[in-house]
């Protein structure tokens, strides 16, 4: 690998002898579980039949050994209802909620309250943790006390059985892997992960159709931009959410993205290391910019990249491995080295550049592959997503082969 301003990196290696997605787990679920991080990506994508969830191990029938979990969940729901009815109340962070993000803690405790309202009480300082203001992404510790102000319960029409059926069918159609703890979907480009102003259909809302008897639904453990397609990991249990969130935070999760960029980097394999900060542009729109160390709100961002193939000097197919997970990191980093991702209406910064004919003006960025330790077994869960339709059209037009060897596997992990 070369530095950001270094010389040429390693050249293309030989193609691997085998296919590069994941090995099939013994229980015949859809993704390949057990392939280590050295498994090489690339290769034809298997069809996506609906996977059967792993059968849970048999439990003793004796009521004397029954788990106290249902009672604890009922108590949590009762506490949530009490807050809605009486106003201000203090909630105690339990042991299994330790290390949970504040926003996820709130959505788990108050599924009947609009997410935007929960964000507002945090942002305005009405919510306090041990008497202090917090941010939505701050982590909670066992034993902390959370002051909840009066909440406004959203007035929504109960979900119909038909809507639940339709949403479940849609999720199954885009599912790449599923067992009793984990769900990995192939998020389509244009589908938001969470709701916001004017956004009514999103992944988090679709997950309502998967609520269990206790009212708990699967939890998001990371995010993708609305226009980015590909692998999105979802925890189906609180236990899985806690374990996988730690994997993302400790940077042991391996992610590979594919992008079509303007021009061809002179250094074919390299490292992009900058600081990124959020700012408002002249129109008041929020965006991420390259900043200096020590600037207010600046966080370090690190990305490795490799040129997989190119179309003359006009376009390049880049494979990207983000080590950190900053907002819009890959989009800002590719633009910073002079090769922005085509179709990016926020960060494309080359003037008088025309998109080649036949290519759709949509963001050409795919969360191609993710490797994460399974929360229950600890074995690597390795899942790959196919190209979205608009990128498949571009690959066909440019004659790019998805089975081509991807040199990003040679990039360091940190």
Q: Structure tokens of 289?
A: 């910019």
What is the greatest pairwise CA distance in the chain? 74
CB-based contact 101:139 (threshold 8 Å): yes
CB-based contact 258:402 (threshold 8 Å): no
What length does the chain have?
A: 414
Give the phi and the psi of residue 28 in degrees, each rounded to 5.
65, 35
For residues 111-126, b (16+ Cβ closer than 10 Å) or e, as one string?
Answer: eebbbeebbebbeeee
CB-based contact 207:246 (threshold 8 Å): no
As beta bridge partners, residue 198 has none
Q: Which of 103, 179, 204, 225 is catalytic?
A: 225
What angle do helix axes 69-86 and 102-109 make, rounded to 10 degrees? 90
Distances from the Cα of 252 to the Cαs of 104, 387, 414, in angstroms? 21, 25, 9
For residues 69-92, b (16+ Cβ closer than 10 Å) or e, as one string?
Answer: eeeebeebbebbeebbeeeebebe
For residues 10-19, b (16+ Cβ closer than 10 Å) or e, as one string?
Answer: eeeeeebeeb
Please confirm, yes or no, whether 27 is among the known catalytic residues: no
Q: Structure tokens of 298?
A: 């600046």
* H helices present in 174-317, as ranges: 203-206, 238-249
Instruction: Catalogue the active-site residues.
Output: 225
């Amino acid at each position: 690998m070369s530095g950001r301003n270094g010389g040429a990196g390693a050249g293309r290696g030989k193609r691997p002898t085998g296919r590069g997605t994941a090995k099939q787990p013994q229980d015949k679920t859809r993704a390949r579980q057990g392939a280590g991080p050295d498994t090489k990506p690339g290769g034809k994508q298997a069809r996506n039949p609906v996977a059967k969830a792993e059968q849970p191990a048999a439990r003793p029938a004796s009521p004397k050994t029954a788990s106290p979990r249902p009672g604890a969940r009922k108590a949590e729901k009762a506490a949530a209802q009490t807050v809605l009815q009486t106003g201000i109340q203090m909630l105690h962070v339990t042991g299994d909620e330790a290390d949970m993000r504040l926003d996820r803690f709130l959505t788990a405790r108050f599924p009947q309250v609009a997410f935007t309202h929960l964000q507002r009480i945090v942002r305005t300082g009405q919510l306090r943790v041990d008497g202090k203001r917090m941010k939505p992404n701050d982590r909670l510790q066992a034993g902390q006390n959370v002051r909840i102000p009066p909440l406004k319960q959203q007035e929504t029409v109960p979900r119909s059985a038909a809507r639940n059926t339709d949403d479940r069918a849609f999720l199954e159609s885009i599912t790449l892997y599923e067992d009793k703890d984990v769900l990995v979907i192939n998020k389509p480009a244009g589908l938001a992960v969470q709701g916001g102003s004017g956004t009514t259909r999103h992944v988090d809302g679709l997950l309502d159709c998967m609520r269990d008897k206790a009212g708990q639904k699967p939890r998001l453990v990371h995010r993708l931009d609305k226009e980015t397609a590909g692998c999105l990991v979802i925890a189906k249990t609180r236990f899985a959410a806690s374990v996988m969130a730690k994997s993302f935070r400790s940077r042991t999760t391996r992610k590979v993205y594919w992008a079509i960029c303007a021009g061809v980097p002179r250094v074919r394999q390299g490292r992009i290391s900058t600081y990124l900060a959020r700012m408002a542009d002249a129109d008041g729109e929020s965006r991420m910019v390259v900043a200096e160390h020590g600037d207010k709100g600046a966080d370090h961002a690190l990305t490795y990249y490799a040129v997989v193939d190119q179309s003359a000097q006009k376009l390049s197919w880049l494979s990207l491995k983000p080590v950190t997970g900053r907002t819009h990191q890959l989009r800002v980093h590719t633009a910073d080295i002079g090769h922005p991702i085509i179709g990016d209406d926020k960060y494309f910064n080359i003037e008088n550049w025309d998109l080649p004919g036949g290519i759709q003006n949509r963001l050409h960025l795919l969360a191609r592959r993710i490797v994460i330790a399974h929360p229950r077994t600890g074995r690597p869960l390795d899942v790959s997503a196919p190209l979205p339709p608009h990128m498949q059209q571009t690959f066909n037009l440019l004659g790019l082969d998805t089975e081509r060897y991807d040199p990003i596997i040679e990039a360091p992990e940190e």
